[in-house]
């Protein structure tokens, strides 16, 4: 049973001349990581807003079709109820900081206070969030004094503590360095393993290949492809997406006739080792056979 379903969904923002999304249909399985990829302006953030019910409850415009969260139509569900089902971490983490709290710990607890969660439970959850996103050392600092990367992790932690079954993460590592990115991606993997459903908008395709079980491709507001990362990411250039360095090098090796493997392209270091290794193995064997005959 799907946890999120999008049925022939189209949306045009009030003052826009063209629709941001057109006839999008997809569904998401629980406890999986689904990646959304696409060029700038393709409609990724708009789809996140639709999945969370911000469209139609917050953003006004012309909408067609439906989005269902655990079967309930978002149009007929109040945003106050939807936030307990779907948590969203926005593209710009700064927008997400309340500005009302003096410390990182209080900021993370902010949403829980509004839900009326018991004190002990709140403390446990906040501690878990500080741990998972590596924020212990800044727990008593002001949210406004944090670096961009720390603010991004704070935004993630603040949504994580709400324990909504679905988390939508719109480019959650855009402000992070490679170490910060790895930490956040590992946290996301942990969340999915614990049963959360994750929607991840991400430009770093290497991480998409590592984490996602399914990839959706948006192009000019349309859903143009959906499938397993291996099959979708090999077609990245078709949609103007930046290939991983591994896919680039493998493609080059193939174009130069150094490798005949055209069944797939590597997207991660591990896959590259496998891909080039297959070639070495094959040619090594062929070489030996050639000499002995
Ligand atoms: N509030 C808004 N009002 C009018 N048009 C908007 C609004 N937000 C987005 N758009 C338009 O909708 C389209 C899709 O935008 P969206 O932000 O969803 O794309 P995106 O794939 O998230 O892009 P990016 O990679 O830059 O984040 C774009 O043409 C954009 O200009
Ligand atoms: Mg966006």
Q: pLDDT tens across 8-24, in order?
A: 999 999 999 999 999 99
Measured from the Cα of 47, ligand 1's closest atom is: 18
Q: What span, in angstroms and rounded, lies between the C-alpha atoms of 220 and 6?
A: 17
User: Is 225 a domain residue?
Assistant: yes
Residues 116 and 66 both lie in one domain: no
Whether residue 153 lies inside any domain: the answer is yes
Q: Give the C-alpha separation, 90 to 49, whole Å.
A: 9
Q: Pick the closest to residue 94 from 157, 167, 151 (CA basis).
A: 151
Give the H/E segment covering residue 142: none
Are 78 and 184 members of one domain?
Answer: yes
Q: Are residues 134 and 179 in the same domain?
A: no
Q: Ligand 2 centre and the CA of 193: distance in Å?
A: 26
Residues 173-222: tens digit of each pLDDT: 998 999 889 989 999 999 999 999 999 999 999 999 999 999 999 999 99
Higher pLDDT, 170 or 283: 170
208-261 pLDDT tens trace: 999 999 999 999 999 999 999 999 999 999 999 999 999 999 999 999 988 877
Q: Which pLDDT does position 116 carry in this prediction? A: 85
Q: Is residue 279 part of a domain?
A: yes
190 in Cβ contact with 131 (< 8 Å): no
* Atom 6 of ligand 1, residue of closest alpha carbon: 13
Say how many domains are in the chain. 3
Confidence bin at 73 (pLDDT 50/70/90): very high
Which of the listed residues 186, 211, 235 is the one where a domain comes to its end? 235
CB 212 within 8 A of CB 206: no
| H helices present in the chain, as ranges | 44-52, 54-57, 79-82, 104-115, 119-132, 148-160, 178-193, 205-211, 229-233, 245-255, 269-292
Q: How close is the Cα of 51 to the center of ligand 2, in Å?
A: 14
Q: Which of 35, 37, 43, 55 has most ligand 1 atoms within 8 Å of its beta carbon, as the pocket-test mutant?
A: 43
C-alpha of residue 170 to centroid of ligand 2, in Å: 7
| Radius of gyration, CA atoms only, the chain | 22
pLDDT for res 94: 76
- Measured distance CA(292)–CA(156) in Å, rounded: 60
Banded model confidence at residue 290, pLDDT cuts 50, 70, 90: very low
Say if residue 122 is in the same domain as residue 65.
no
* Same-domain check for residues 23 and 68: yes
Q: Which domain holds residue 4?
A: 1-85+164-235
Largest pairwise CA distance in the chain: 79
End position of a domain, from candidates 110, 139, 163: 163
Same domain? For 170 and 159 the reply is no
**How many CA atoms, within 13 angstroms, populate the side-chain half-sphere of residue 219?**
10
Cα 13 to ligand 1 centroid, rounded to whole Å: 9
Task: Evaluate whether residue 242 is within a structural domain.
Answer: no
Question: Which of 94, 224, 99, 105 has the alpha carbon at shortest distance from 147?
Answer: 94
Q: Where does the pLDDT of residue 34 fall: very low under 50, low under 70, confident under 90, or very high at 90 and above?
A: very high
Both 124 and 168 in a single domain? no
Tens digit of pLDDT for each residue in 89-136? 988 877 888 888 999 999 999 989 888 889 999 999 999 999 999 999
Mean pLDDT for all residues in the chain: 92
Within 6 A (CB) of ligand 1 lie 13, 15-16, 20, 38, 40-46, 91
């Amino acid at each position: 049973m799907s946890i999120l379903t999008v049925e022939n969904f189209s949306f045009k923002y009030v003052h826009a001349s063209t629709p941001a999304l057109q006839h999008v249909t997809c569904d998401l399985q629980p406890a999986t990581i689904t990646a959304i990829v696409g060029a700038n302006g393709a409609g990724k953030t708009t789809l996140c807003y639709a999945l969370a019910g911000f469209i139609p409850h917050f953003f006004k415009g012309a909408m067609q079709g439906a989005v269902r969260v655990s079967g309930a139509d978002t149009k007929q569900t109040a945003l106050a109820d939807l936030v307990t089902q779907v948590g969203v971490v926005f593209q710009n983490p700064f927008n997400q900081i309340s500005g009302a709290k003096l410390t990182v710990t209080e900021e993370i607890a902010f949403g829980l206070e509004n839900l009326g969660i018991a004190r002990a439970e709140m403390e446990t959850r906040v501690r878990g969030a500080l741990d998972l996103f590596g924020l212990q050392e800044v727990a008593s600092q002001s949210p406004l004094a944090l670096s961009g990367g720390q603010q991004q992790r704070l935004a993630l932690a603040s949504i994580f503590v709400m324990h909504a079954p679905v988390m939508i993460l719109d480019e959650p590592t855009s402000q992070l360095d490679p170490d910060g990115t790895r930490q956040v991606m590992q946290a996301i993997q942990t969340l999915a393993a614990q049963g959360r459903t994750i929607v991840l908008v991400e430009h770093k395709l290497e991480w998409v290949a590592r984490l996602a079980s399914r990839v959706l491709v948006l192009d000019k507001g349309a859903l143009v492809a959906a499938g397993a990362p291996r099959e979708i990411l090999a077609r990245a250039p078709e949609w103007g997406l930046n290939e991983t360095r591994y896919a680039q090098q493998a493609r080059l090796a193939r174009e130069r006739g150094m490798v005949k493997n055209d069944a797939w392209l590597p997207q991660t270091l591990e896959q590259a080792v496998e891909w080039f290794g297959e070639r070495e193995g094959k040619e090594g064997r062929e070489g030996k056979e050639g000499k002995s005959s």
